[in-house]
Chains A and B, each alone.
Chain A
Amino acid sequence: MRAIGIILAGGNSNRMRELSNKRAIAAMPVAGSFRGIDFALSNMSNSHVQKVAVLTQYNSRSLNEHLSSSKWWDFGRKQGGLFVFTPTITADNGFWYRGTADAIAQNLTFLRNSHEPYVVIASGDGVYKLDFNKVLEYHIDKKADITVVTKRMADEEDCTRFGLVQTDEEGRITEFQEKPFVVSSRLVSTGIYVIRRRHLIELIEKSMEEERFDFVRDILVRYMSVKRIFSYEMDSYWNNISSVEAYFKTNMDFLKKDIRDFFFRQYPDVYSKIDDLPPAKYNPGSAVRNSLISSGCIINGVVENSLLFKKVYVGNNCTIKNSIILNDVHIGDNTYIENCIVESRDTIRANSTHIGENGEIKIVVEKNERYGF
C-alpha cells in the first residue's frame, strides 16, 4: 500500500454521558466482542496499510490496554507497525493536543520519517468496513487534494451531530457545515480522509504558524474554495458511536441478519484482541431470544432483544430486555433490566430493577463488588 494511517482516537464527547467516564470513545466495546477502534484498525490492516499511528489523549488507559499488542490486527511487522502517540512534553512543546490538527502536528516526525506518498486519516469511533485502496484510487483519479469519505444517512437519523457536506456533480465538496442547527444535507463526513503526505505536512505546518488547531474547521472548511476537496460516498454500512443514542442503535443494528452477515460472515474479517474465554454456557432456566451473546457468558435467566458482551453472568430468574450489558458484568438473581446500558465490570445486586423510561436509555453504573479494593 502506498499510504500510512493515522487514527484519531483522542476524543471524548459529553453525548456519551457516564460511559465516557471510564474510557475514550475508541475503546467503547461494540457488537459484543469488539472495540470501536477495531473497525478502523482492521480496515487499515485489510487495506494493507502497514504503518499506523493511533493518537490518543482522553482517558486512554482502557485503549492502551486494548492496543498492548499489535499482533491481533497483524501490525507486528518489521516494515511498519502500530504506533500509539500520547501527548508528551518536549523541548519546544508543553501542550496537550489542542485539536486534531495539533495532534498531527505534535507527531509530524512520524509523517516526515515515512516514505509512503499518501496518508489515510480515520477516527476511532466509526463502525464500518471499507477498502481504503478504493478511496485512494478515487483520490488519484479525481486529482484531489483531499478526499473526504462520506455517507448518505437515512432520513430518520439525526444529522446535526455530524459534519454535513454538499458537492457539485463531479463530487467536489462545495459546502461543509460542522454540526449545524438546521440540516441542509444528509451527506455526512465520516471523518475519514485521504491526502498526500507532503501536502498534509505543508497544511499542518501552515496551520501551526497561524495557531489554528482543528483539522475540520481550519483545514477542510478554510481551504474548501482553494483546494480540490472531494467526497467519496461509501454505500455500505457506516455509523459512529459518539453519542449514547448512536451507540445504542449501532449495537442493536447487529441484531439484524444482513448487518451481521456483512461484518461477520463476509470477507474481510474484523479483528480484535483475543481474550481466551470459554464458549457461552446456557444453563437450565435460560431463555434467550433475538440476542447476541459473547464468549465467557453464563446465562441462567431470560434475555430478549439484547446484547451481552464478554463474560457476563446472568443469575436465576433474571429478565433482561432491550439492553446492552457490557463486559464482565455480574447480574444477581431476580433482577429486571430494561432499556439500559450496564457499564462494564458492574456487580448488579440480586432483586434489583433498572428500567430506562420514556424512551430514554438508562446507563447503569454500579460498584464493582467482586474485585478487591
Chain B
Amino acid sequence: MIKKEMIAMLLAGGQGSRLGVLTSSIAKPAVSFGGKYRIIDFPLSNCINSGVDTVGVLTQYQPLRLNTHIGIGIPWDLDRNIGGVSILPPYEKSTNAEWYSGTANAIFQNLKYMEYYNPEYVLILGGDHIYKMDYEVMLDFHKSNNADITLATIPVPMEEASRFGVVITDDKRRILEFEEKPPKPRSNLASMGIYIFNWKVLRQALIDLSEQPGCDFGKHIIPYCHERGDRVFAYEFNGYWKDVGTLTSYWESNMELIDIVPEFNLYEEFWKIYTKNDVTPPQYIAADAVVERCIIGEGTEIYGRVYNSVIGAGVTIGKNAEVHDSIIMKNTEIGDNTKVNKAIIAENCVIGFDSELGVGEEATNVKFPKIYTDGLVTIGEGSVIPNNVRIGKNTAISGGTTLDDYPSGQLKSGESIIKAGDLR
C-alpha cells in the first residue's frame, strides 16, 4: 500500500514575463541563478532536505529546459521507487482539453496524481523564490494548531507591505483577514505563496470550485475556505526569502551572493542546494586576468578582468575584456577587448570583440518601460552580438544580431532588438 504523509506540488508553469527576454524561451523556474543553479533548485532542494520525497512539478510554459534539468530527479535524490519527482504537464481528456488556467486549476487537473499517493497533507509551492526553508517545521506548526490550511508568511518592512498580500491574525496566529496589496496595510506579514493543506480539505475545495474560471489559490481557494470557517493559520518564516520576479530583484539577489559573508550563504554544509551538474572541470584564471569580488562556476576560463559579477559554468571571458556588476550565464563567450557593464547575459550567447555593453546616458525603454529598468542590459539565451558595437542602458536583445541591426554600430539606451523567443 502506498502512503505518504506529505507530498509537494510545485507550480512551475509560469512564464515570468517581467523577466523579459530571459524567459522568452524558457520557463522562469528554469532561469539560471548564482553561477550554477536554476531557480527551481531551491524549492526542490528544500523538499528533499525537509524529507518530502514526492514532488509533482506542474509545467506549462516552455518546459523543455525544465524537463531536461529535472530528468528523473537524480541530483536531488528524487529518483525513488515510490514517489520521487514527476513532471505534470496539461493533458487531453476524453471530454475536453484545457491548459492550466490558474494555480488551483492546475492542481485540480492533477487530483489523480495526489490520490495515488494517499497523503495526509499537500504542500503547494511556487518556483520563483530563492530561500532555504524546512517545510517539516511548518508542518509541525500546522499539526500543532490542528489547522486545515497553513500559509507561510514573512514579515516585511511596513512601508513595503502594500506590495504584498498580507494577513491579519489573532495572537494564536489564526488568520482573521486577508488584504491583497492594501494601500494602508494593517499587518506586515506577507504571504509567500507556500501553503500546507489537509488533503481532504484541499480536495473538496478544488472540486467545489472546479467551475471557477482561472481558479487561483490566493484569489479563490484560500478565501473560499476561510469564509466557510476552516482553520487557516499563518506560519512565520524568518530566513532569507527573495522574490526574483523582476530583472532588478533578480540582479540584486545574484549580487548579494558575492558579499563577503552573504546573507544567503551557499557555503554552509547544512541545507545544501542541489543542481544538475553537467560541467565538472575546474575553472581557469589566466596569468594576466583579474578577478575581484566574484563567484564563478565550473569549467569557466577567464582571460580578462572581472569585477563584482556572477559568472556561470563554461563561460569564456576573452583577453583584455572587462566585466563589471554583471551576471553571465552558462557557456556564454565574451570576446576580447569587450566591455560589459551591469548586464544580464543569458546562456549560450556569443558577444563579439571590441564591443561595449551598458554605456551612455540612461533612457527609459521605449517598448517595455516596466521591464527593462535600472540601467540593465538584458540579453536573451542564444543571442549573438557582433564585433564593434555600442549598446546603451535599459536595453534588451534576443536572437542572432548582425551589424545591420545596429545603426551606426549603436543600440541607444532604451532600445530593444527582439529577433527570437515568445516575447515580442
Interface positions of A (Cβ within 8 A of B): 31-34, 71, 254-255, 260, 263-265, 269-272, 274, 276, 278-284, 286-296, 298, 307-309
Q: Are A282 and B272 in contact (CB under 8 A)?
A: no
Q: Does B275 make an interface contact (CB < 8 A)? A: yes
Number of A-B contacts defined by CB within 8 Å: 106
Complex CA gap A290/B301 in Å reads: 10
Interface size on B, residues (CB 8 A): 37
Contact segment of B99-107, B129-137, B282-290: B282-290
B296 CB contact (under 8 Å) in A31, A270, A279? A279
Q: Are A292 and B277 in contact (CB under 8 A)?
A: no
Q: Are B282 and A31 in contact (CB under 8 A)?
A: yes
Q: Does B291 make an interface contact (CB < 8 A)? A: yes
- A sample of 18 cross-chain residue pairs with beta-carbon separation below 8 angstroms, ordered by A number, consists of A260-B284, A260-B301, A264-B299, A274-B277, A274-B280, A278-B35, A278-B36, A279-B35, A279-B295, A281-B294, A282-B294, A284-B292, A287-B290, A291-B285, A292-B282, A295-B298, A296-B267, A308-B282
A295 CB contact (under 8 Å) in B284, B285, B297? B297
Complex CA gap A169/B270 in Å reads: 61
Q: Are B293 and A290 in contact (CB under 8 A)?
A: no
Chain B CB within 10 Å, residue with most, of A264, A279, A298, A308:
A279
Whole-angstrom distance between the Cβ of B269 and the nearest chain A Cβ: 10
Q: Are B280 and A281 in contact (CB under 8 A)?
A: no
CB contacts (< 8 Å) of B63 on chain A: these are: none
A296 to B, closest residue via Cβ: B267
A263 CB contact (under 8 Å) in B272, B281, B293, B311? B281
Mask for B256-272, Cβ within 8 A of A = 1, else 0? 00101000001100001
User: Considering the complex of A and B, which 7 residue pairs feature the smallest CB-CB distances, nearest first?
Assistant: A32-B282, A279-B35, A278-B266, A290-B287, A264-B281, A292-B282, A294-B282
Q: Does B274 make an interface contact (CB < 8 A)? A: yes
Whole-angstrom distance between the Cβ of A260 and the nearest chain B Cβ: 6
Q: Does B155 make an interface contact (CB < 8 A)? A: no
Q: Are B297 and A279 in contact (CB under 8 A)?
A: yes
Whole-angstrom distance between the Cβ of A269 and the nearest chain B Cβ: 8
CB contacts (< 8 Å) of B34 on chain A: these are: 278-279
Q: Are B274 and A290 in contact (CB under 8 A)?
A: no
A307 CB contact (under 8 Å) in B35, B282, B294, B311? B282
CB contacts (< 8 Å) of B287 on chain A: these are: 289-290
CB contacts (< 8 Å) of A292 on chain B: these are: 282-285
B293 to A, closest residue via Cβ: A284
CB contacts (< 8 Å) of B291 on chain A: these are: 282, 286, 288
Whole-angstrom distance between the Cβ of B390 and the nearest chain A Cβ: 29
A310 to B, closest residue via Cβ: B282
